[in-house]
Amino acid sequence: AQSVAQPEDQVNVAEGNPLTVKCTYSVSGNPYLFWYVQYPNRGLQFLLKYITGDNLVKGSYGFEAEFNKSQTSFHLKKPSALVSDSALYFCAVSPTTDKLIFGTGTRLQVFP
Amino acid sequence: DGGITQSPKYLFRKEGQNVTLSCEQNLNHDAMYWYRQDPGQGLRLIYYSQIVNDFQKGDIAEGYSVSREKKESFPLTVTSAQKNPTAFYLCASSIVGSNQPQHFGDGTRLSIL
């Protein structure tokens, strides 16, 4: 079965430190990969996507993600976390259809 | 500004009642989607549509119905057959094509009275 795993329910990091939110996937073929962010009582906002090419993808608000085909991972990173980055983050995978498969989400908490 | 509008923001349903959630977009997108979000379960696809007058069931379609009579609109009806309707419902739209990001509305929170 096709699936996306976000192994950490919550990630805690101090402001100014680097952050990583992990995502692994199990999908046949060469899927497209996405990260979204959700603030309380709001919809999801698109951060970045990997289609093909460079394994390091840069996105909105200083976020980037590293694609690793051999490990089937697509971890979200940011060099210096802000308190305002505190939110719920979703990894999603699109197989060769128009449907997205979402992970269960990781809550990022950035402490001042 | 272009975007997706969901209404109402909060909705309450009585036992045995059908309720309809509205979703309108002015992004000129062909594809539209309905998701259900429950704590700790991520987003699950209810229905999606890639063209007017056509739609497909997602992973959890039982107890829900949709229509797509206009490109801009994709209403979702939660029927009385849905025994556990309390959730946060999200509508999204996109350009057709699996490498296109989906754009989301701000959701409707449905609760049972």
Per-residue pLDDT for A52 more than 90? no
Chain A residues with CB inside 8 Å of B6's CB? 43
Measure CB to CB from residue B101 to each of A34, A90, A104 and give the nearest one: A34
Kindly state whether A88 is in contact with chain B, defined as any CB-CB distance less than 8 angstroms. no
Three-state SS at A85: helix
Three-state SS at A11: strand
DSSP state of A83: G
Kindly state whether A100 is in contact with chain B, defined as any CB-CB distance less than 8 angstroms. yes
Average pLDDT (A88-112) is 92
One-letter identity of residue B58: G
Phi-psi label, residue A72: left if phi above 0, alpha if psi -120 to 50, beta otherwise:
left
CA dist A72 and A6 (Å) reads 12
Sequence-ordered list of residues with C-beta below 8 angstroms from that of B103, at least 6 positions apart, any chain:
A46, B3, B4, B25, B27, B29, B92, B93, B94
The tokens of B39 are what? 């704590």
Confidence of residue B15 (pLDDT cuts 50, 70, 90): confident
pLDDT in tens, B26-43: 999 999 999 999 988 889
CA dist B59 and B68 (Å) reads 19
Sequence-ordered list of residues with C-beta below 8 angstroms from that of B59, at least 6 positions apart, any chain:
B44, B45, B46
pLDDT in tens, B45-85: 999 999 999 999 999 999 999 999 999 999 999 998 888 99
Cβ <8 Å between B41 and A104: yes
If you count residue pairs, one on A and one on B, with CB atoms under 8 Å apart, how many are there?
60
- Do residues A94 and A32 touch, judged by C-beta distance below 8 A? yes
Average pLDDT (B96-111) is 91
Cβ <8 Å between A94 and B109: no
Per-residue pLDDT for A97 more than 80? no
Cβ <8 Å between A96 and B98: yes
Element containing residue B65 per DSSP (H, E) = strand B64-66
The tokens of B21 are what? 């959630």
- Do residues B43 and B105 touch, judged by C-beta distance below 8 A? no
Average pLDDT (A46-50) is 95
Specify the pLDDT at position B1: 61
Which one is predicted more confidently, B112 or B5? B5
**Closest to A59 (Cα-Cα) out of A70, A71, A45, A38:** A45
